[in-house]
Structure 1
C-alpha cells in the first residue's frame, strides 16, 4: 500500500491525515520516504498568505471598445488584470494551441519590482523567496497546458534568481528543458561590491515541447565551391578529426596513407580521426558511420599536395627529429613524440606535414539551417569567424528604456526589454501564423515585437498580453496595463516621433490592432445574474477563437464565424429569433448559445445545430 501526503494539505489537515493512519500504515509511509531522496525545490508553501490572484470565482472578461485599437474585429488581445484567472480563461480557448509563451516575470530583487497582494515585496520580507516561487509555480502550471507539441516557453531572468527559477521550471516542465540563452544586458556597475564583480548579463530559460526546435538561419553554402562532376554535387573541405584523444578513442588512432602517392600522415594523439578502419570497427564495436576504408575507396578523403615530406632512414634520425621538434605539428602540439606507441612504424616511410581532410557534400546535410547559439551577442561586438551557428544579436537594456522615453516623453516603466531582442527570439521560435502569449506583459514589449516581426516578414502572428495595473494601497490609481502597455501599442500602431538632436523624426506606424479587456471576478452563484450579455458574447468568441467583435445591442442575436460554422449567441429566445436561427441552419451549420435553449432545441435539426446553455455550459468550459 502506497501512502503519500497530498501536496496541497495544510499543517492541520496533514496532522489529521496522519492521525487517521494505523501503525503499519505509518511504518510503510516512513519506509517509503526514507528510500526516496528526490532532487527537488522546496519552499515554505504552507506558511504563505493566500494569493489574492487565485480566486474561487468566474473570470469574466469585459471588452472596453474605447480602449481598444483599430477597427473590429480585433485579432490581438490586451487583458488588464491578474494573470492567474486570465490563464484559466485562456485555457478554455487555447489549450494546446500556443506556439510561444514569452515572459519577463518579476526578478524578485526586493527593490519595488514586484507587487503581491496589493503591496511591494521587499528585501526584508521573511517569505520573499517562497512567495515568489509559489506565485510563479501556480501560473506556470496553467501556462504549460497552453503549449503545442512544438511550442516553447521563454523566460527572462536575472543571474541572481536563475538557479531557483530553473529548478522550479524543472518541476513544472519535466523533461522539457532545452537550455538557456545568455544576454549581455548592460555595461558597467558594481553589483557585488564586496566581491568587485559587475553582473552584466541575464538569462533566457528555454523549455519546449517534444517537437520544438529553433529555426536557426538558412545556410549560405558559400563554402561548397567544389564539384567533381560525378553527380554527387557540390562539396566543401572539413576537418577529419574529433575532440577525443588516443586514450579515449584507441580504435581511431592510426596512421593514414594517401593511396595515390604512398605518403603517410600521422594521427593527432590529442584529436584522433572521426572514422575508424573497418578491421578496428568490427573488433571493437558496431560502426554507425562510414569507415575510413569506405571513404578512401569513394575518394572522399582529400590529401595535401605540394606539402613537405620527410623520410627518416633510422630510428635515431626519427628520435633526433622528435627532440628538435622537426616533425608535423597540429594546434601547437607535435604529431610524433617519444612516448607514442610503435615509433618503428615511421622509420623508412615518407611522412607528410599536412593534414588530410574530408569532403562534405551539400546533399548529405541533415539540416538546411544552422543551429542557434546560446550566446546572444551584443550588436556592436564582432561576430566569430567561420562559426557554423546562428547568433542572435541584440542591444542592451538601454534600447528599451530609450524607446519608452521616446514614446511617452518620460520614464514610465523600469527596465523594459529591447524590442529587437524579443523580436529576434520570436523569429527563432515562431512561424508566420503563430499565437504568442505574454502573461507578464509589463510595458508591452512582446506585443510590439510581434507587430514589428509581422511587418518585416508579412506574417500573421497574434498576441495575447496580460498586464496588471500594479496598483498598491499607496498608489491606488496606478494602471500599467492601460497607461503604459496598451498606450505604447496604440502609439506604435499609429506612428510616433522621436527627437533627433535639434529635430523630430517620424517613425511609421506598424500594422495591427488589439481589443482591450478588463478581467473581473464574478462569484459562481452570481454568474446567472451579474454576467452581462456583452461579457457572455466576449467569452463565447474567445472560446471559439474568433476575432473579437463588440456586443450589438440592436441585433436580435450575435453571430460570428465563417461559412463552415456560424457561432450564434441569443440572449433572448423569441419566436422571431427561433425562426431566424432555423433559416440560418438551413445553409450553414451552427453552434447556438442561448440563455433559454429549450425552444431552439425543439425547433432545429440536431445534426446541423449544436445548442449550448448560458451560463451553465460557459462555466463548465472555463475551469475553476
Structure 2
C-alpha cells in the first residue's frame, strides 16, 4: 500500500477533498471480507416527505405539474431563501450535490406548493410524533400497541431513543424484490431490468438491519424475517454479517398448499423464515411439531379440585383459607374474591356485591371446609387462567372449582403442557405437548393454519370488507412463529417495521388473550399508495400529501382500520365481524380483544426548536413511548410547570421540584422522570432526590445527543 499512500499524499496537496474521498473508498475496499457478500453499498437512498413544511436549508425536489404522469425533475435542490410574492410563497433554489470546481450549480425558483422535502439517509433527523387516533378497550393499566406512519428507516432511528436494547422480538416481512412494482428505492420503483436491483435491495435491508440490531435486547431476543427464493441466499449472508454472534436457522414453511406456478420451473408451495437468535434466546416447545401430523396424546390434563378434603380441610384447621368467591349471576364468571373470614364471624354476615352470589367451600352435608389457595394466590391464579368454575346456580352457596397445581403450571412454562386457548369462564385450555413431553419442532413446517390465502386474504376481507391488500400473511403463521420466543414473556415488546396490513399486531393480541399477557406490538408502515392506484390519482390532479390521496394509503386505509376492527370486533362500517378465529384459540371475531392501540405519524423537527422547548407537543409522545406506552400522554404542561401520568412525569419549572418529587414518591408505578433544564447542576440536584422506582432523563440533552450521534452513511 506504500505506492497508494504516496499517490494519496500527492493528491492531497492539489485537491484535499478528492484525496479524502479516495481514501474513504479505499478504506471501504480494504475492509471487505475476502469471502462473503459483496455489493455496491453506496447506492444513495432518500425519501420524500409530502406534507412536511419547507424550511430554509431543506433539500427538496420540484414536483411535476398536477395531472401529469411524468416523473419530472429528479434533481435535488437546496432552499436558500423563502419569500412571499403576489402569487404566493416562492422558494429560491440552488442545485444540490454539485462540485463548484467542476461546474456552477444551477439556480431556480419554485412555488412552495410544487416542492417536496427530501430526507437523505446520511443526514441526521430529529423526529417527533403526532397522534392521529386511538382505540381503548383494555383498561387504563394495559399498555398500548402502536402504529407509526413513517419511512421505516427513520422510524427505526426514532426508536433508538425510546427502545434501544428493549425489543424482545422483531418480525418482518420485507419486500421480496420480485421485479414487480412492489417496493421503492430512492423514491422510484425497482423493476426486474434494473442492473442494481440486488445491490439496492441489500443496501436497503442492511441499513435497516443495522439499526434493528441496536433495538434488540442483546441478552435474549430474536429477529424473524420471511423471504422467498428471489433473495433468500443474499438475506442469509447479510444476516450472518450483521449478526455475527447470533445463532441463525432457516425454516421452510408451506404457505400456499395449492402451489404457485413459475414459468419453466417447479411450482412454489413454500417460503423461508430466518430466525436470528441473540444471547440466550431459544425456541420454546409450545406448538407441537409444526406439521400435519396429529399425534398429540389423547390423555386429558387433570384439573384438581380447589376445595380441600379431610380433617385438615376443615375451617377450624386453616381459618385463613375460608373466604367467599363472588360469582356474577348473569354471566357465571368470577366477579371477585373476598378476604379470609375470622373463625368467630359467621358467613351469613358477608354481603355479596350486587348481582353476585357468594360461593363458600362447603361439603355436601353443609360443613365448612377450606379452599386450596389463600385469597391473594387465588386472585393471581384466576387472572392467569389457572382456575375453572363448574356448574353454577345463582343463589346457591356451593359450586365446584378446579385449578392447575404448581407442577402443571411449571409444565406450561417448560412446554410440556400447551395452552391452546381460553374457555368462556376465562380459564386456560391446556393439553399435553407432542408425546406428552417437550419436543422441538423441525425445520419444515406444514400446517393448514398457515395458508396465506384462507387465513391471510380471506380473513382480512372479513375484517375489512371490500378493501384489498396484496399477499397478507396468515394470521396464525405469524402467531406461531412469534409464540416460540415470547412464550413465558408476558410483557414482551414486539416490533414489525414492515407492518403492511398489521398482521403482527393482530397476532400479538391473540397471544395476549391466550395467556393473559401484556405484550405490546410496535407496527411501522408508510402510507404508500400502490403503483396502479397512483396513476388514477395523478390523472385527477392529486399528489402525495393531499388528503384525497393519503386516505388510500396503506397505513390509513388498511393498517389502522384493521387493528381498530380487531380490537372492537367491528368492521369500519360498524358491523360485527363475521366468522370465528380458528385453531389455537377459537372464538367469534366479533368479540374483539381487551387491548389498547394508538396511532401516530412521524414528524421532522428543527433541533433549534426542540432545544428551545418549542416542539414539546411533538416530542411528548416519544417520552410516553420511552416510558412504556401506558396511560395518558403528557402533551402539554400546566402552569405549575410539571405533570405526572401513569408511567412517567415531566418537570420544567425547577421552582416546583419539591411538589413534583412528592407526586413521584406517592406513585410507585411512575418509572421515569423527564427533567427539562439546560443546567447539569439543576438536573443532578433533582435526580439525586428521585424515589428509587424512577429513572431520571434530561431534556433535551438526551434527545439531541441521541440523534446527533446517529448519523449513518
Give the alignment's TM-score, normalised by structure 1. 0.63
Alpha-carbon deviations, 1:235-272, whole Å to 9, x = none? xxxxxxxxxxxxxxxxxxxxxxxxxxxxxxxxxxxxxx
User: Is the contact between residue 181 and residue 190 of structure 2 (CA under 8 Å) also seen in structure 1?
Assistant: yes
User: Is the contact between residue 59 and residue 85 of structure 1 (CA under 8 Å) also seen in structure 2?
Assistant: no
Q: Report SS of the residue matched to 2:169.
A: strand
Equivalent residue, structure 2, for 1:183: 253
User: Is the contact between residue 45 and residue 186 of structure 2 (CA under 8 Å) also seen in structure 1?
Assistant: no
Equivalent residue, structure 2, for 1:160: 230
Q: Relative to 1, partners in 2 of residues 1:546 and 1:493: Cα closer, same or farther, differing over 3 Å?
A: closer
Equivalent residue, structure 1, for 2:475: 419
State yes or no: 1:491 paired with 2:565: yes
User: Is the contact between residue 132 and residue 601 of structure 2 (CA under 8 Å) also seen in structure 1?
Assistant: no
Corresponding residue to 2:643 among 558, 568, 582: 558
Corresponding residue to 2:39 among 36, 39, 43: 43
CA distance in 1, matches of 2:459, 2:503: 10
User: Is the contact between residue 578 and residue 603 of structure 1 (CA under 8 Å) also seen in structure 2?
Assistant: no
Equivalent residue, structure 1, for 2:596: 513
Deviating more after overlay: 204-213 vs 583-592: 583-592
> Which one has more relative contact order, counting CA pairs under 8 Å at least 6 apart?
1
Equivalent residue, structure 1, for 2:520: 462
CA distance in 2, matches of 1:3, 1:508: 74
CA distance in 1, matches of 2:684, 2:30: 61
CA distance in 2, matches of 1:517, 1:3: 55
Q: Relative to 1, partners in 2 of residues 1:424 and 1:33: Cα closer, same or farther, differing over 3 Å?
A: closer
State yes or no: 1:124 paired with 2:193: yes
CA distance in 1, matches of 2:698, 2:120: 28
CA distance in 2, matches of 1:467, 1:14: 39
Q: Report SS of the residue matched to 2:127.
A: strand
Equivalent residue, structure 2, for 1:105: 174
CA distance in 2, matches of 1:428, 1:3: 55
CA distance in 1, matches of 2:635, 2:30: 60
Q: Relative to 1, partners in 2 of residues 1:548 and 1:158: Cα closer, same or farther, differing over 3 Å?
A: farther
CA distance in 2, matches of 1:458, 1:602: 39
Query: What residue ranges of structure 2 are gaps of 5+ in the alignment?
Result: 6-14, 48-118, 289-294, 300-435, 538-543, 571-575, 580-587
CA distance in 1, matches of 2:175, 2:601: 22
State yes or no: 1:60 paired with 2:127: yes
Q: Report SS of the residue matched to 2:42.
A: helix
Equivalent residue, structure 2, for 1:569: 650
Alpha-carbon deviations, 1:402-432, whole Å to 9, x = none? 1121122124210000001111112211132
Alpha-carbon deviations, 1:423-449, whole Å to 9, x = none? 111221113221111111110000000
CA distance in 2, matches of 1:187, 1:442: 23
State yes or no: 1:78 paired with 2:184: no
User: Is the contact between residue 63 and residue 515 of structure 1 (CA under 8 Å) also seen in structure 2?
Assistant: no
Q: Relative to 1, partners in 2 of residues 1:2 and 1:201: Cα closer, same or farther, differing over 3 Å?
A: farther
Equivalent residue, structure 2, for 1:524: 607
| Shift, 1:20, TM fit | 7.2
Q: Report SS of the residue matched to 2:192.
A: coil
CA distance in 2, matches of 1:208, 1:4: 42
1:591-602 → structure 2 map (5 Å cutoff)? 592-596=673-677, 601=682
Equivalent residue, structure 1, for 2:221: 151
Q: Report SS of the residue matched to 1:459.
A: coil
CA distance in 2, matches of 1:113, 1:558: 46
Alpha-carbon deviations, 1:20-62, whole Å to 9, x = none? 79xxxx9xx99x969x962211112235455646263434232
Q: Report SS of the residue matched to 1:507.
A: helix
User: Is the contact between residue 675 and residue 697 of structure 2 (CA under 8 Å) also seen in structure 1?
Assistant: yes
Equivalent residue, structure 2, for 1:170: 240
Alpha-carbon deviations, 1:425-474, whole Å to 9, x = none? 12211132211111111100000000011112222211111111124875
User: Is the contact between residue 582 and residue 604 of structure 1 (CA under 8 Å) also seen in structure 2?
Assistant: no
User: Is the contact between residue 627 and residue 672 of structure 2 (CA under 8 Å) also seen in structure 1?
Assistant: no
CA distance in 1, matches of 2:613, 2:234: 42
Q: Report SS of the residue matched to 1:145.
A: helix
Q: Relative to 1, partners in 2 of residues 1:47 and 1:554: Cα closer, same or farther, differing over 3 Å?
A: closer
Deviating more after overlay: 215-224 vs 120-129: 215-224
Q: Relative to 1, partners in 2 of residues 1:221 and 1:463: Cα closer, same or farther, differing over 3 Å?
A: closer
Equivalent residue, structure 2, for 1:541: 624
Q: Relative to 1, partners in 2 of residues 1:531 and 1:134: Cα closer, same or farther, differing over 3 Å?
A: farther
CA distance in 2, matches of 1:199, 1:221: 29
Alpha-carbon deviations, 1:322-377, whole Å to 9, x = none? xxxxxxxxxxxxxxxxxxxxxxxxxxxxxxxxxxxxxxxxxxxxx95101211111
Alpha-carbon deviations, 1:175-232, whole Å to 9, x = none? 4243111111214466431x242112101111111311111139999699xxxxxxxx
| Shift, 1:4, TM fit | 12
Q: Relative to 1, partners in 2 of residues 1:72 and 1:131: Cα closer, same or farther, differing over 3 Å?
A: farther
Q: Relative to 1, partners in 2 of residues 1:69 and 1:113: Cα closer, same or farther, differing over 3 Å?
A: farther
State yes or no: 1:138 paired with 2:201: no
User: Is the contact between residue 45 and residue 185 of structure 2 (CA under 8 Å) also seen in structure 1?
Assistant: no
User: Is the contact between residue 437 and residue 464 of structure 1 (CA under 8 Å) also seen in structure 2?
Assistant: yes
Q: Relative to 1, partners in 2 of residues 1:190 and 1:463: Cα closer, same or farther, differing over 3 Å?
A: closer
CA distance in 2, matches of 1:82, 1:430: 27
CA distance in 1, matches of 2:42, 2:637: 52
In the comparison of the two structures, how many residue pairs are matched?
445
Q: Relative to 1, partners in 2 of residues 1:128 and 1:463: Cα closer, same or farther, differing over 3 Å?
A: same
User: Is the contact between residue 616 and residue 635 of structure 2 (CA under 8 Å) also seen in structure 1?
Assistant: no
CA distance in 1, matches of 2:517, 2:664: 34
